[in-house]
Amino acid sequence: MAPRWCGSGSWATAGPVEDAEGRPLGLDGRFFPDLDVALAALREAGLRGLLVLTDFLWFAPARYESGVQLGGRRHHVREPSLRAPLLEHVFAPIAERCAEAPEIAGWDLMNEPEWATLGVGTLDPRRSISRREMRAFLGALAELFHERASQPLSVGLASGRWRPLLDGLSLDVEQVHWYESLDSLTMLAGPVAPPEPGRRAPLLGEFPTRGASLAPERLLEIAREAGYSGALAWSALASDAATDAAACLGALRSFTGHTGHTKRARLPA
């Protein structure tokens, strides 16, 4: 069990291409070259990545950055006539291209879907879909990746309190995040339930390296004692109130027993 070293993906520079009626046609020409570079970097470093397919911000009103649309995909998921081509022309090629990629440890189908699920994590209808629509989309996405790729699947819940959102979906790993602003230390330390048949032990998909009442190395120890199969730190490279790169590196060294005297890691500026 060790923290995740987080970096940026290709989702901000490449995305779905639509026709004049808004139907998804596929991925633009930058997507797979970006993905190939990311997988090559993992190979070179001797690492495997948990790749995140979508984020709750996908459902927020559209905005544009350097000419690229971010968000504004809510209608693609809500309308069955658009959801089918979204799955077939956007997500199926990713699953098929990466079906046996050894650099991919698994797929996180969506990061924190609660914040885009009406009546669960938000009451704002402009940036959310219904619980039924969210479950239908995640269920269809899981079915597609199980059919066309070999890696295990998870969904990164913002909190364990919202586990019922995923009940009955075909996932391989239960993944929850923990932040003290949402959940207590008692909840983090509670023994995790044994995994269901065919599933792996639960994964602590995010925990903060800054802002919690305990240092990240202690949070790692608590997660291990609770029975989590792994813990992924937020984060090494972000610049937010939950990130401390030095603390993340120190927690990793402490957990693995590596002092760092023989080789010094250098973080990007």
Question: So what's the pLDDT on residue 201?
Answer: 85
Check residue 89 and report its DSSP letter: I
Structural domain includes residue 109: yes
* Beta-carbon count within 10 A of 100 CB: 8
| pLDDT tens-digit series, residues 168-190 | 999 999 999 999 999 999 999 99
Give the domain CATH number at 96. Answer: 3.20.20.80
Task: Look at the chain and count its residues.
Answer: 269
In a domain, 1, yes or no: no
What are the structure tokens assigned to 176, written together? 């929850």
Task: Report pLDDT digits (tens) over 218-237.
Answer: 999 999 999 999 999 999 88
7 belongs to a structural domain? no
pLDDT 10s digits, 133-158: 999 999 999 999 999 999 999 999 99
| Residue 94 belongs to domain spanning | 16-256
Do the beta carbons of residue 78 and residue 133 sit within 8 Å? yes
Q: Which residues of 257-268 are buried (b: 16+ CB within 10 A; e: fewer)?
A: eeeeeeeeeeee
Contact (CB, 8 A) for 107 and 149: yes
The count of structural domains within the chain is 1
Is 265 part of a structural domain of the chain?
A: no
| In-domain check, residue 192 | yes
> Residue 6: inside a domain, yes or no?
no
Predicted structure pTM score: 0.87
Residue 197 forms part of a structural domain: yes
Residue 71 counted as domain residue: yes
